[in-house]
A and B are shown apart, each in its own frame.
Chain A
Amino acid sequence: MMVSIALAVVPAGAGAHAERATFFPNPNLGAFPVYRNYGPELVVCARDSKRRIKDEIQDPVVRRDNMRLRSRCRFDSIQRAVNQAHNGYRIKVLPGVYEEKRWQTPPPGCEDEYQNTSALSYAQHRQCPNAQNLIAILGDTNDDRICDSKCNIQIEGTGDDPGDVKIEGEKLKLNVVRADRADGIFLKNFQVEFSDFNNIYVLETNGFHLDGIVSKYSREYGILSFTSDHGIYENCDASYSGDSGVYPGSGPNARHGQPDAHGHVYGIEIRNCNSHDNTIGMSGTAGNGTWAHDNRFHDNSDGVTTDSFASGHPGMPQDNSKWSHNLIYSNNNDLFNAERDAYCQQVPWEDRDPQKVCPTFQVPVGTGILIAGGNANVVEENYVFDNWRRGTMLHWVPAALRGEQDNAKTYDTSSNNRYTRNCMGTRPASLVNVNFTTCAGTQDKNGVDFWWDEEEGQDCIEEQAGCVDNESVKGNCWDSNTGFGGTYTSDPVALLLPTCPGLDATRPGNNAKQATLVPCATWDPQTNPDPPGCDWFTRPPEP
């Protein structure tokens, strides 16, 4: 098994995406954390926790447990409890709103870091944990990228629903909760809001588990993981993010669809999440090795995206993720119309209505699932309906666009993706307990069910120079999909969609289709919100 590749994210002078050079953890180490009800415990409470326990917790057992915990409360700040915690500690957070105001003022020696919104080094985060983060869990004390302190920390809201414990970023910090090299971190049962970048940010962490987290109103991302492995997002609700509700970016790259030493094919799993009313429900540049299942992605502008667009993301090109048993529907959120453009141009972030999302990146409004420059992904047994442009969209991304200098790799994307047994244009009778092995319900059309630019990429080995093709069977393929009345729509026509395993013959694709994507690159919400030649920003009429 290869050990992961290390690449730098482009550091820059300023900007929301700036990050230090990051490295994938070793996939053969680490594990998916499980919830613990043992281990040393620290209790955090707010000034009004007692009243909230009495007034807001309905379940008498939970109320009694909370009152018992209240008597043991020693901290009024989650960060202070984190600072006191050692490996394996559990931090219980009682009902309340946590603004962590004490971290708004820089401590001596951190004045510059507090002013700096560009990429800080890990050492700078260690020195000034709250410069960019409302709450920081930093697990590596000697900068060898291995967690050795504050590992296996569990932070849990104790209410009877996530909204009982709110962590408020107040738009002041890039990240509300940052878990950095914090292997084994487990976050459970709270709501987090108003980050300038990420509400929850997991970075270079081998083993993380996010359970029952509600994320709202992030300027960019709700829950974001990056160059991390052995991660689970589950039972989450992510909404009103300017970019994505959930973002497993630079996902585990080393496996390439093969199991690791523990038998895990997918290093990150996203399950039972509801991501809605964002620009994108789920996205991930270089979102490798991720399995999203039993989720709902709806009422975003674009339900799901994975891509090889941006430079500097470790693990390019994107490959080997899977979407199964998801409901991907009604992703027609009209965030690029003239009225919203004007609002976003005129109203600064600090003053915006949190439910008026301003997109940070451009997407084709009305799309269910977009794979842009991805390889060997699986889209299987999903219901995809009521996406007014396209149910699914698959296209090539030239290697140069991710900064790849090797000309032999120009056509190394958009190969071997498999769409099987999906139910298209059909709304199931109920959105809970859906039987994904059948296709039943009422007709609710996508604009077109399957759209492909007709490019078939080469099967280059990612880690080798040039294009060493070691695959001679697979190609992009569509098999056993169906829709209302047993049919589906496609562009090209169904006859030209290869059945599985596909046709392993590289071809450049349909230039007329690819050309329509290019002008969309010139979008700028301030100076060019409606580029000629690009139809992405006009919500299509309901088909």
Chain B
Amino acid sequence: MDARGIAWLSLVVVALVAGCGDDKPAKDSLAWFDTPSVIVPPTLKGDRILQAEVRNDSDHKVRVEAATIRVFDNNGRRVKASATFAEGYVHSLYPPTRGPASLPDYELERLGKLAEIDPGKTARITVSWREPKGRRTAATIDYGQGKLTIPPESLRQAEREL
């Protein structure tokens, strides 16, 4: 191989290495740490609230913005949902319509709008949704970089307790 060929090969190798080491985590890097609990709010019987710890099973730090989390039903249709990483009810220092254009990460984390989860670590997540009507049911939580399956037994348990 001539010098030019070696140079091209080097570039390809560098690109491959870079590709392996980029910041994008592998799919489904988050997993349930324990079985999620689902409750049916007493006054909103068509809604569900799921709470669980999620663990980062990848070897990368995972950064998830709560606003990007989506819930889909068993037919793959999107369900109206909200998500937060806050441990409890909290509100921002600013009214939602009047704050600065961007908040620092520590404030976003305090508000539950952002989670940065190191490998092997966990975060508390709360996802709530409007349960679809009929035979459809919420089935997956898509956090952008992967998906979590909503355990049917958690849903059934919630409905039994209703």
Could you list which residues of chain A lie within 8 angstroms of chain B, going by C-beta atoms?
9-10, 12-18, 118, 220, 242-243, 309-312, 360-362, 372, 395-398, 400-401, 403, 511-512, 514-526, 528, 531-535, 538, 540
Contacts and interface: CB of A to CB of B under 8 A. Distances in A.
Contacts of A10: 93, 107
Interface string B96-109: 11111101001100
B89 A521 contact: yes
30 contacts: A9-B93, A10-B107, A13-B101, A15-B93, A15-B98, A17-B93, A18-B94, A310-B91, A310-B92, A311-B93, A362-B91, A372-B89, A398-B87, A403-B110, A518-B49, A518-B51, A518-B84, A518-B126, A520-B89, A521-B84, A521-B86, A521-B89, A522-B82, A522-B128, A525-B96, A532-B44, A533-B44, A533-B82, A535-B41, A535-B43
Given A311-B110, A521-B111, A535-B43, A15 B99 contact: yes
Given A118-B100, A514-B88, A515-B39, 18 more contacts: A13-B100, A16-B94, A220-B95, A309-B91, A397-B89, A401-B90, A403-B110, A511-B37, A515-B37, A515-B49, A518-B126, A519-B49, A525-B96, A532-B44, A532-B48, A533-B44, A533-B48, A535-B43
Nearest to A491: B42
Interface in B66-100: 66, 80-84, 86-100
A522 B84 contact: yes
Contacts of B81: 532
A396 B112 CA distance: 17
B99 A12 contact: yes
B32 interface: no
Nearest to A524: B96
B63 interface: no
B93 A533 contact: no
B121 interface: no
A101 B16 CA distance: 66
B142 interface: no
A87 B97 CA distance: 40
Given A15-B100, A360-B98, A533 B86 contact: no
Contacts, number: 145
A401 B93 CA distance: 11
A495 to B, nearest CB: 20
A63 B114 CA distance: 62
Interface residues of B, number: 42
Interface in B34-48: 37, 39, 41-44, 47-48
Nearest to A313: B93
A229 to B, nearest CB: 23
A533 B129 contact: yes
B152 to A, nearest CB: 19
B130 interface: yes
Contacts of B42: 516
Top 5 closest pairs, chain A to chain B, by CB: A533-B128, A360-B95, A517-B89, A15-B94, A519-B128
